[in-house]
Amino acid sequence: MHVLKIENLTVEIENKTILKNFNLEVKSGEIHAIMGPNGTGKSTLSKVIMGDPNYKIIEGTIKYDDTIINEYTTDERARLGLFLSMQMPLEIEGVTNADLLRTACHIKEGTNFKLFDFIKKLENNVSKLKMDKEMIHRSVNVGFSGGERKKNEILQMYMLEPSLVILDEIDSGLDVDSLKIVGNNVMDYFKEYKPILIVITHYQRLLDYIKPDYVHILKNGNIIKSGDSSLVKEIETNGYNSSEFAIKENNKDE
Amino acid sequence: MNRIIISNNQFDLNNIEYNYKEDLISKLNLKVIKNTKLELIIDKEIKLDINIELLDDVKLDFVIIKKAKTKILTKYKLNENSILNITEISDSDIINERNIINLNGKNSKINFILKTVCKNNEKYDIVINHNNIKTESNVVTNGVNISGNLYFTVTSYVPKGIKKCIVNQQNRIINLTDNECLIRPNLLIDEVDVIANHSALIGSFKDEELFYMQRLGIDIATANKLLIEGFIKSKINKNLANYLKKYWR
């Protein structure tokens, strides 16, 4: 059982406060959806958990199991089992997908790494995600469509088998068929490995496949409301500017 | 594959006429008469003047591997409809090189790709003269500076009246030190009917690229090596990149 516990977290970038006294606790086997309007700190939250050095923690702690990881580098956090699927996966020309994944898996598994097993696992996962096998030998995300890039992120997740998965808008850029493949694969992974799963999204359509136990509404750098999946319907009906959310936000400020 | 190995005066050539004179400044003259491939391996310290001429309608795929301290002046002369594809790999302490490429024939075309890992002092000066209409030049200079000083000067000339040319330059240095590196990208074009593009960039790898790799558990040192490998391998044959693989293995 793993636990991610974020307490009183205040985060700045370029002297602008993005998260303020943010609190969240998530356990293995739980799915938490984080929703909210643009620019409220959702992606910031994902990058801060992952240790992006561009973001400065002013106050508070991020704890994974018994370890405060505020000072851990991104790669150290990844080796603890944290994984972030990025909203806009980067292109890296000249570095093939296979080289990138082999390097990452080699570092993770150390002397236990076996190339033959790696190749078999890679082929199996590529097939599960209905990806073109040729993409493995192409430069990372170069010339990939939006959907292919997102599948590539899920492929990385499968290969590294993380215990904490953050999906930052994994549904953006996906057509209906790709959304189904990605959503079903995330759920298959969740059922098999029971990780902590944090899903950042704007839309209900992803949550048709990935069923959250908890839904949090993030606004102005803090959670203004939490609930079960019924909250998603409420957002779909009323949007983020409904009077109820506005009242809660005002109360929080007081 | 035609091959010249300088250290042992080995000249295995077909479809290329040549003469070579070893001296204080050695001289190598090549005339390419049919489509062919050529590999030139410079593996001893040398000062060298090279002249290469491509006859009409001839294509040459030319690979140059530099493994030793060199000072080289190379003049290329391309006649009508000829195509020259150059891939140059440098792995030496000191290189001082000047290339003068004369696109004399209509529709002649040069694709020049340079890859180097700089450890001491390397200067490259590439001049492309578009001397006829509908000529095309595509120059890519890529260097990783790990402990020295690296300088690229790339100058493309298109005089007035030389219409419908295509002129491209992409120059990039990844500087992993605080040492001076310099790119001088010059486009000297005196004709409006020309397509021209250039980019010149000096810097380290992007923070976003490092973050993208680190989030998979890859430490900074390994991420840098992977990025060097990717940078060197892009746009060239993987086997050629292997000449420089010691910098990422």
- Cα→Cα distances A94→A137, B68, B235, B239, Å: 10, 26, 8, 13
Nearest-neighbour CA in chain A from B96: distance (Å): 27
Residues 6 or more apart whose Cβ sits within 8 Å of residue A59: A8, A9, A10, A21
Task: Characterize the bridge pairing of strands A67-68 and B36-42.
Answer: unpaired
Band (A39; pLDDT cuts 50, 70, 90): confident
Radius of gyration of chain B (CA): 19
Band (B9; pLDDT cuts 50, 70, 90): confident
Chain A residues lying within 8 Å of B229, measured CB to CB = 94-95, 99
Nearest-neighbour CA in chain B from A25: distance (Å): 21
pLDDT at B128 over 90: yes
What's the CA gap between A163 and A192, in Å, rounded? 11
List the single residue in B with minimal CA-CA distance to A82: B215
Cα angle value A181/A184/A186 (rounded, 5°): 105
On whether the CB atoms of residues B171 and B202 are closer than 8 A, the answer is no
On whether the CB atoms of residues B81 and B106 are closer than 8 A, the answer is yes
Chain A residues lying within 8 Å of B231, measured CB to CB = 93-94
What percent of chain B has pLDDT above 70?
100
Predicted pLDDT of residue A247: 45
- Cα→Cα distances A58→A10, A17, A20, A39, A42, Å: 5, 9, 9, 19, 18
pLDDT at A53 over 90: yes
Nearest-neighbour CA in chain B from A69: distance (Å): 14
Chain A residues lying within 8 Å of B216, measured CB to CB = 75, 78, 83, 100-101, 104, 156, 160
Predicted pLDDT of residue B131: 98
B217 with A108: Cβ contact below 8 A: yes
Residue A96, strand partner residues = A139
Predicted pLDDT of residue A242: 65
Structural domain boundaries enclosing A103: 3-253
Predicted pLDDT of residue A254: 39
List the single residue in B with minimal CA-CA distance to A78: B217
pLDDT at A98 over 60: yes
Whole-number average pLDDT of chain B: 94
On whether the CB atoms of residues B164 and B193 are closer than 8 A, the answer is yes
Chain B residues lying within 8 Å of A95, measured CB to CB = 226-227, 229-230
Q: What is the mean pLDDT of residues B90-104?
A: 93
pLDDT at A245 over 80: no
Q: What is the CATH number of the domain that holds A209?
A: 3.40.50.300
Q: What is the mean pLDDT of residues B27-50?
A: 95
Predicted pLDDT of residue A152: 96
Band (A253; pLDDT cuts 50, 70, 90): very low
pLDDT at A249 over 80: no
Model pLDDT for residues B42-77, shown as the tens digit of each residue = 999 999 999 999 999 999 999 999 999 999 999 999
A83 — contact with chain B (CB < 8 Å)?
Answer: yes
On whether the CB atoms of residues B123 and B99 are closer than 8 A, the answer is no
Number of domains present in the structure of chain A = 1
pLDDT at A243 over 80: no
Whole-number average pLDDT of chain A: 91
Q: For tokens 């002649």, what's the residue? A: B108
Using a cut of 0.90, tell me whether the model's pTM lies above it: no
Q: What is the mean pLDDT of residues B222-248?
A: 88
Band (A220; pLDDT cuts 50, 70, 90): confident
List the single residue in A with minimal CA-CA distance to B214: A75
Predicted pLDDT of residue A34: 95
Task: Characterize the bridge pairing of strands B16-21 and B26-32.
Answer: antiparallel
B144, B211, B248: best mutation site toward chain A, by most A Cβ within 10 Å?
B211
Nearest-neighbour CA in chain B from A207: distance (Å): 25
Chain A residues lying within 8 Å of B219, measured CB to CB = 73, 75, 107
Predicted pLDDT of residue A13: 92
Band (A248; pLDDT cuts 50, 70, 90): low
What's the CA gap between B99 and B110, in Å, rounded? 12
**Range scoring the smallest mean pLDDT among A8-22, A186-200, A237-251:** A237-251
B62 SS3 class:
strand
Q: What is the mean pLDDT of residues B194-200?
A: 96
Q: What is the mean pLDDT of residues A86-112?
A: 94
Residues 6 or more apart whose Cβ sits within 8 Å of residue B86: B62, B63, B64, B110, B111, B112, B113
**Range scoring the smallest mean pLDDT among A54-58, A163-167, B187-191, B240-244:** B240-244
Biggest CA pair distance of chain B = 57
Predicted pLDDT of residue A27: 96
Chain A residues lying within 8 Å of B224, measured CB to CB = none
